[in-house]
Structure 1
Amino acid sequence: MKLKPLALLALSLFPLLSQAAEPLVNRYVVTFPQGDRVAYTGTYASQFPDGLPVGVGSGLQFLRKEGNDLIFATVTDRGPNADSPKAGKKDSKIFASPKFTPLLMTLRVGDGKALATDAHPLHDDQGPVSGLPLPEGLIGATNEVALDDKLMQLASDKRGLDTEGITPDGKGGYWLCDEYGPFIVNIDASGKILKKYGPQAEQGEQGVAGGLPNIIKWRQANRGFEGITRMPDGRIIAAVQSTLDIDGKSKNSALFTRLVSIDPATGKTAMYGYPIDADVYKKAKDAKIGDIVALDDHRILLLEQGGDKNKVMRNLVYVVDLSQATDLSGFDKEQAPEFNDAQQLKSRGIRLAEKKEVLDLRKLGWQQEKAEGMTLIDSQTIAVINDNDFGLQPVLDNPDDYEVDGKGHLTRDGKTVETKIGLKPLEKPQSLNELWVIKLPESLK
């Protein structure tokens, strides 16, 4: 078929109209010019002659440009830890550096480098806080047994934090979110804790902090708040990482996870349901939120990730519209909506947030398991970062065959064995802190 001259002219003027523009990615590996390392002198110190790498990247917030450099704030999580066998019916973790304090740090990106500097330990009036779990019996306790690298049980810490997100407070400081409580924490620029919110204790309960809806105490262990953002109107929204497990019965089937809003000026709270890609996962609990970022007073960017039914990792960025989403607060006393299917939600008048995919990190070559920090640089540019888990991993074949007794021993079939759990460095790329700056084909505003 012969093309008419007008059609030929159109093709010459607009040759790319039929081809979707691709995102442009600048990739960096975070380094520490001041030689920042986590001191480690424990049993397996020979594996880490220079100490442990600092694991920044649990949260990310763009601050400003300085010349051609991009300046970010970032935060670590609770510190170097590794999975270990069950302690009876409880999970356990090895804390390689039990005295580690979560850190607020600055990232400077430019000239092909991403440099982490200016570490500020999180602290309160009593001094530096730790990353150790809360005592059993408190709202926010994970009920996991904390061990040192000799498998001796460590004391829990009522002030412990597992920080996972960061956003400015508009006053020179930041709001952080945490996986334990889950907590929302206000700090100043030096890392001093000014205010802490957590699930409000009900009769017979004891909590570390209050002011947030009680129902979020049902977060899965170590799946508390994973992302936080400050809306232009001043509200703070924090994302529960995965589906709530209410009375131990809802995590595998709930169709959504919760976005919790609080206005620090009034204390008013609200909750919205973010619809996970439920059909993609073997179980609903496998979906995880990485981070959230405000676009305006009604829309946020949200990073959803997790292994699908074939155990293939997915890392997708969505625009999420909350303008028509129902506040779930008034529905929980009758029956938590986590127990409802789609038709039941509709019959109760509950609308979940609406979402639209804007980016698939895997299609761009992302190899890390998770992206845990995300921020907006401008209306067309985002940045994402992973957490390298301080570059260590446990060494033990068939860990499910063993238990720990908290007294330095591994047991098997109820008998003490000579087997030891080792610690060794993670291999690349998992050991790296990777930061990507991504220019999107279209504006998000």
Structure 2
Amino acid sequence: MKNKPLALLLASLFSLTARAAEPDVHRYVVTFPQGDRVAYQGDYASVFPDGLPVGVGSGLQFLRKEGDTLVFATVTDRGPNADSPKAGKRESKIFASPGYAPQLMTLRVSGDKAEAVAAKPLHDAQGNITGLPLPEGLIGATNELALNDALQPLPGDRRGLDTEGITPDGKGGYWLCDEYGPFIIHVDANGKILEKHGPQAEQGEQAVAGGLPNIIKWRQPNRGFEGLTRMPDGRIIAAVQSTLDIDGKTKNSARFTRLVSFDPASGKTAMYGYPIDIDRYKKAKDAKIGDIVALDNHRLLLIEQGGDKNNAMRNLVYVVDLRNATDLSRFDKEQPPEFNDASSLNARGITLASKSLLVDLRKLGWQQEKAEGLTIVDKHTIAVINDNDFGLQATLEKPQGDKQEADDYQVDGKGHLTLDGKSVATRIGIKPLEKPQSENDLWVIKLDKPL
């Protein structure tokens, strides 16, 4: 009995110590004080009378402090879109606002507010670009059939970008990355495109940009570069979102996804393997990178996420060390390492990057499916943000009998859905996302130990 108070005291002290070690999270919902909305006059305009919400958060970069205000740069993706049934073997996608131009925006965080301001559409000498997929036949084409909300086909766009990451260029502008090409894009402070780099075309191939390793053309559709960062020495590191699918054979078994290094000064490239938590997923392709940010010339932070074997979402921030990682470039011509299991990688002398867990966002209460932006505020603080997908989702209208799923149907490319080869009255509509998925959550996380 005499030991009971001491045991209780020790237990209390342990509990307090454990709680004290937890990261401290400040949660914000991003607002748009300038009234920014995406114009929409389509078939479902009555459901969105004020237009569509802007979907920032595809990338995040801390810029500076102004007194007590934190200032970030962020970028949108390709614009409002929703899933629709296949067209034969092709995937299709509804683009609710086909003329939408991906945008740079500034986030200002102060007190209990996180406000997005100063929207700047991406543009080139021809004007604003769009987020429409590239035409078939080009490296970077996704084999998607782009549709308007009446399910009628839209043309591809050679200038189209699906932007997903942002990092400063050190001169007032930014480097961005994209999921189509996949591309690395240099823009000035106003969003004007200065240069674009993508997989270098080989004989018989056509591309809109080059200078990067050809092998990354095998990215899974819409899983190109999902994040990038500028290292202190000036190199750009871009992360392929998921495993490459080389010749359609490796996405389900590859043990890593690629981190591509590009030196803008020399054009030199290298590639490193980031080891996914392969045993946690049903298939390797289910692992996805959210974003990356440099710690120094050898280390970076990286979000790995995706549904696990039990369909539970994982959102984890890792510290990744590239110091002992093998440059994969010299192995690709013999046989890309994506075809190798762990023992074969070892036998070939291939070492993947090392990693250690920094933060499990789910354990801190993260509810969004994805965390798509990651940045470092200071050595004690990081920030993450989700992409709200412009607040819309697809819905099936007037389903036929027991055919209650969109995948039961096909699109005919002429404005109709078909079932067993016959046109039906069923439609794919769009409706608002529910909260919290419709919101842009920004978390500023005070770590329990310095980076």
TM-score normalised by length of structure 1:
0.97
- Give the share of equivalent positions with the same residue, in percent: 78
Q: Considering only aligned residues, what root-mean-square deviation do their CA atoms show, in Å?
A: 1.8
Residue-by-residue CA offset, 1:287-313 (whole Å, 9 max, x unaligned): 000000000000000000000000000
Letter in 2 for 1:22: E
The verdict on how the C-alpha distance between 1:52 and 1:117 changes in structure 2, with shifts beyond 3 A counting, is: same
Deviates further, 404-413 or 173-182: 404-413
Letter in 1 for 2:22: E
Q: Does residue 1:30 correspond to 2:30, yes or no?
A: yes
The 3-state SS of whatever aligns with 2:285 is helix
In structure 1, distance between residues paired with 2:390 and 2:11: 52
Alpha-carbon distance, 1:380 to partner? 1.1
Partner of 1:6: none
In structure 2, distance between residues paired with 1:135 and 1:69: 43
Q: Does residue 1:414 correspond to 2:421, yes or no?
A: yes
Letter in 1 for 2:414: K
In structure 1, distance between residues paired with 2:270 and 2:2: 62
Letter in 2 for 1:186: H
How do residues 95-106 of structure 1 correspond to structure 2 at under 5 angstroms?
95-106=95-106
How do residues 38-57 of structure 1 correspond to structure 2 at under 5 angstroms?
38-57=38-57
Residue-by-residue CA offset, 1:315-371 (whole Å, 9 max, x unaligned): 000000000000000000000000000000000000000000010000010000000
In structure 2, distance between residues paired with 1:160 and 1:15: 53
How do residues 66-81 of structure 1 correspond to structure 2 at under 5 angstroms?
66-81=66-81
Letter in 2 for 1:333: K
Partner of 1:157: 157
The 3-state SS of whatever aligns with 1:377 is strand
The verdict on how the C-alpha distance between 1:14 and 1:372 changes in structure 2, with shifts beyond 3 A counting, is: closer
Partner of 1:339: 339
Deviates further, 13-22 or 265-274: 13-22
Q: Could you tell me which of 401, 424, 427 is aligned with 2:434?
A: 427
The 3-state SS of whatever aligns with 2:274 is strand
How do residues 78-157 of structure 1 correspond to structure 2 at under 5 angstroms?
78-157=78-157
Alpha-carbon distance, 1:200 to partner? 0.3
Letter in 2 for 1:99: G
Alpha-carbon distance, 1:405 to partner? 1.1
The 3-state SS of whatever aligns with 1:57 is coil
Letter in 2 for 1:409: H
Residue-by-residue CA offset, 1:220-278 (whole Å, 9 max, x unaligned): 00000000000000000000000000000000000000000000000000000000000
Residue-by-residue CA offset, 1:60-87 (whole Å, 9 max, x unaligned): 0000001100000000000000000001
Letter in 2 for 1:420: R
The verdict on how the C-alpha distance between 1:338 and 1:46 changes in structure 2, with shifts beyond 3 A counting, is: same
In structure 2, distance between residues paired with 1:131 and 1:228: 19
Alpha-carbon distance, 1:111 to partner? 1.8
Residue-by-residue CA offset, 1:188-234 (whole Å, 9 max, x unaligned): 00000001000000000001100000000000000000000000000
Partner of 2:199: 199
In structure 1, distance between residues paired with 2:14 and 2:243: 46
Partner of 1:369: 369
The 3-state SS of whatever aligns with 1:421 is strand
The 3-state SS of whatever aligns with 2:247 is helix
In structure 1, distance between residues paired with 2:12 and 2:384: 37
The verdict on how the C-alpha distance between 1:249 and 1:45 changes in structure 2, with shifts beyond 3 A counting, is: same
Partner of 1:292: 292
Alpha-carbon distance, 1:15 to partner? 9.2
Q: Does residue 1:249 correspond to 2:249, yes or no?
A: yes
Q: Does residue 1:441 correspond to 2:444, yes or no?
A: no
In structure 2, distance between residues paired with 1:19 and 1:43: 51
Letter in 2 for 1:190: N
Letter in 2 for 1:43: D
Question: Structure 1: any 5+ residue segments left out of the alignment?
Answer: 4-8
In structure 1, distance between residues paired with 2:45 and 2:440: 21
Letter in 2 for 1:441: D
The verdict on how the C-alpha distance between 1:198 and 1:15 changes in structure 2, with shifts beyond 3 A counting, is: closer
In structure 1, distance between residues paired with 2:423 and 2:50: 33
In structure 1, distance between residues paired with 2:253 and 2:11: 50
Letter in 2 for 1:250: T
Letter in 2 for 1:395: T
How do residues 162-311 of structure 1 correspond to structure 2 at under 5 angstroms?
162-311=162-311
The 3-state SS of whatever aligns with 1:56 is coil
Aligned length: 441
Residue-by-residue CA offset, 1:23-42 (whole Å, 9 max, x unaligned): 00000000000110001110
Letter in 1 for 2:303: L
TM-score normalised by length of structure 2:
0.95
The 3-state SS of whatever aligns with 1:60 is strand
In structure 2, distance between residues paired with 1:229 and 1:28: 24
Alpha-carbon distance, 1:284 to partner? 0.1
Q: Could you tell me which of 377, 396, 407 is aligned with 1:400?
A: 407
Alpha-carbon distance, 1:2 to partner? 7.9
The 3-state SS of whatever aligns with 2:58 is strand
Question: Structure 2: any 5+ residue segments left out of the alignment?
Answer: 4-8, 397-403
The 3-state SS of whatever aligns with 1:304 is strand
In structure 2, distance between residues paired with 1:280 and 1:262: 31
